[in-house]
């Protein structure tokens, strides 16, 4: 499918979708470092990449496409932000995704955000609470329904799909009403080791155990190295005290969520290395986000950490891309009848 990518960042989702066989024809973000990283690693000659606020871009400047994707900025929604509020101005950048979808009328759209978006503003009724749909999320779903899209959504944990990270995100897929199909979310492929061992004994399932931090970054040297791209880090010392970003990283388990920022306007929260001798390097958190080692990040160290923390894991993007291919295949079969 031909894809328009809004809020593309450094391109984790885009790279995963391209690996699944899709084509990015137009991408946009307002962050210069992210766009530099994107252009150097992902963009092809015929792909348009625009560094500008989407609020300043009319839909007439954006090409027609099959799919619009948008991991709209989530700092205002994030549970990692103790100051989050439903009226946070960053929350309403989803309206730009809504605007582009409404005016371009693609067959499908895909939106991604933190799970906190689903309960923001509280619940109006017991039924909405049961279905975990808060006031703000209800508004978002209704807005897309009004412009002619049926929306399926689910909270996905990246660790359930082979990403070495406990990262829960809301993923929603909208399908234009005239297509009359339903998106099937991918089935999980991994489980926690202890749970998987028990299930294997009882059910002989084919699920794998969660990937761990140790097996993901264990081959990288403790010392910073210029010979390994982006294997540099921060001077911020390790202080294990139980708070966010200051908890021991267990090498035998998946990583906690890699985040782009801390609370409010603070810099990125960088997890301690399992050795506790330093924080993780840019390359190590990139591996945890399943970026390949030949994917090079640009900008300051702080900017690189932020780009990675804000990205969708590449491997999860690939899995979603394969499901979207199945959806498009269904649609083509219907058209050919």
Which residues touch 191 (CB under 8 Å, ≥6 apart)? Answer: 160, 199, 207, 208, 209, 210
Kindly report, residue by residue over 200-215, the tens digit of the pLDDT: 554 556 789 999 999 9
Q: Is 108 in a helix, a strand, or coil?
A: strand
Rounded Cα distance, 60 and 103, in Å: 9
Residue 130, pLDDT score: 86
Q: Residues 8, 10, 65, 74: which is the catalytic one?
A: 74
Give yes or no for residue 80 having a pLDDT over 80: no
For residues 71-75, average pLDDT = 67
Tell me if residue 74 is catalytic. yes
Give yes or no for residue 121 having a pLDDT over 90: no
Rounded Cα distance, 43 and 121, in Å: 38
pTM over 0.85: yes
Rounded Cα distance, 139 and 77, in Å: 14
Kindly report, residue by residue over 237-287, the tens digit of the pLDDT: 898 988 878 899 999 999 999 988 754 445 778 999 999 999 999 999 999
Residue 173 binned pLDDT confidence (cut-offs 50, 70, 90) = very high
Q: Which domains does the chain have, with CATH numbers?
A: 2-185+313-336 (3.40.50.150)
């Amino acid at each position: 499918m031909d894809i328009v990518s809004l809020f593309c960042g450094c391109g984790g989702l885009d790279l995963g979708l391209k690996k699944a066989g899709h084509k990015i024809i137009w991408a946009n973000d307002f962050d210069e470092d992210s766009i530099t990283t994107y252009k150097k690693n992902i963009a092809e000659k015929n792909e348009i990449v625009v560094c500008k606020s989407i609020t300043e871009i009319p839909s007439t400047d954006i090409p027609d496409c099959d799919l619009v994707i948008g991991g709209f900025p989530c700092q205002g929604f994030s549970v990692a932000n103790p100051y989050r509020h439903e009226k946070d101005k960053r929350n309403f950048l989803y309206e730009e995704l809504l605007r582009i979808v409404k005016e371009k009328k693609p067959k499908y759209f895909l939106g991604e955000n933190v799970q906190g978006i689903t309960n923001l503003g509280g619940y109006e009724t017991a039924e909405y609470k049961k279905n975990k749909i808060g006031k703000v999320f209800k508004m978002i779903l209704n807005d897309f329904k009004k412009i002619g899209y049926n929306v399926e959504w689910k909270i996905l944990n990246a660790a359930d799909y082979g990403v070495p990270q406990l990262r829960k995100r809301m993923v929603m897929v909208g399908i234009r009403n005239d297509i009359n199909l339903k998106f099937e979310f991918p089935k999980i492929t991994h489980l926690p080791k202890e749970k998987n061992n028990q299930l294997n004994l009882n059910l002989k399932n084919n699920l794998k155990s969660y990937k761990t931090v140790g097996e993901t970054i264990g081959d990288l040297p403790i010392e910073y190295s210029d010979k390994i791209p982006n294997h540099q880090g921060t001077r911020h010392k390790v202080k294990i005290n139980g708070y966010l970003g200051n908890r021991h990283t267990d090498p035998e388990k998946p990583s906690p969520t890699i985040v782009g920022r801390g609370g409010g306007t603070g810099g990125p929260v960088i997890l301690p290395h399992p050795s506790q001798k330093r924080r993780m390097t840019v390359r190590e958190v990139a591996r945890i986000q399943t970026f390949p080692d030949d994917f090079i990040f640009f900008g300051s160290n702080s900017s690189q950490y932020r780009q990675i923390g804000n990205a969708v894991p590449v491997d999860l993007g690939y899995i979603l891309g394969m499901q979207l291919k199945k959806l498009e295949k269904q649609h083509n079969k219907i058209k050919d009848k």
